Structures are given as structure tokens and as C-alpha cells.
């Protein structure tokens, strides 16, 4: 991981990623290209991140595209979903996200 720097680009799981941050030998990365256009949810209704269709896709179909080796490098962490103070919408239950 010595050659990975914040701002650098890397290939992982068949995608090109930009390194946003590095902490404790762990990189936070973001894809450089749009992978797919998807709606937040399948219906227009009040729904939190924990229950939306986009999160289901990312943690299911998208995650499953990675091979076993790449999956072993993905680190789950807890995402706190606080209520939105400007729109007074509920944040919902805390969820798990992945870091590489």
C-alpha cells in the first residue's frame, strides 16, 4: 500500500478508482466512472438509506461482481444515518458500508 497515495488512481475489481483518504493502512476509494444509473428507490415514498433499493443493489448485485480475493480486501464499517436537520427527514437505522 506504500505506492497508493491520496489523489492517485488504482484498478480494483475491474473498475478504476480514485483514492480519497488513507487511514491505518486502509484506503477510502470512489469509482472514477459512473457504473450504472439507478434510482434511490423503486417508488416515490419516504424511505431511509437502510431500506432503499440502491443500497440493496450495492450490497448485493454490485458487491457480488467482485471475486473472492477482492471481497477479502473490502472492510465493512458502520455508517451512522443521522436525521436530516434541514429537511427534518429520518436518517433511519445505522448501516454497514465497505472500505477498501
Distance CA(43)–CA(31), nearest Å, equals 26
Helical H runs in 1-100?
Answer: 53-57, 68-72
71 and 88 in a single domain? The answer is yes
The domain tally of the chain equals 2
Cβ-proximal residues to 86 (8 Å cutoff; 6+ apart), any chain:
none
Distance CA(24)–CA(71), nearest Å, equals 19
pTM: 0.79
Closest CA to 66 of 95, 35, 37, 96: 35
Read off the pLDDT of residues 33-87 as tens digits, 9 standing for 90 and up.
Answer: 999 999 999 999 989 888 999 999 998 999 999 999 999 999 888 888 888 888 7
> Which residue segment(s) compose the domain that 24 sits in?
1-35
Helical H runs in 17-58?
Answer: 53-57
Amino acid at each position: 500500500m506504500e505506492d497508493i497515495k491520496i489523489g492517485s488512481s488504482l484498478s480494483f475489481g475491474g473498475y478504476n478508482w480514485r483514492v480519497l483518504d488513507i487511514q491505518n493502512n486502509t484506503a477510502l476509494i470512489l469509482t472514477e466512472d459512473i457504473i450504472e444509473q439507478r434510482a434511490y428507490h423503486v417508488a416515490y415514498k419516504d424511505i431511509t438509506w437502510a431500506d432503499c433499493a440502491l443500497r440493496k443493489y450495492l450490497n448485493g448485485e454490485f458487491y457480488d461482481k467482485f471475486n473472492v480475493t477482492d471481497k477479502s480486501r473490502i472492510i465493512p464499517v458502520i455508517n451512522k444515518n443521522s436525521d436530516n436537520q434541514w429537511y427534518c427527514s429520518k436518517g433511519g437505522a445505522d448501516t454497514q458500508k465497505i472500505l477498501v
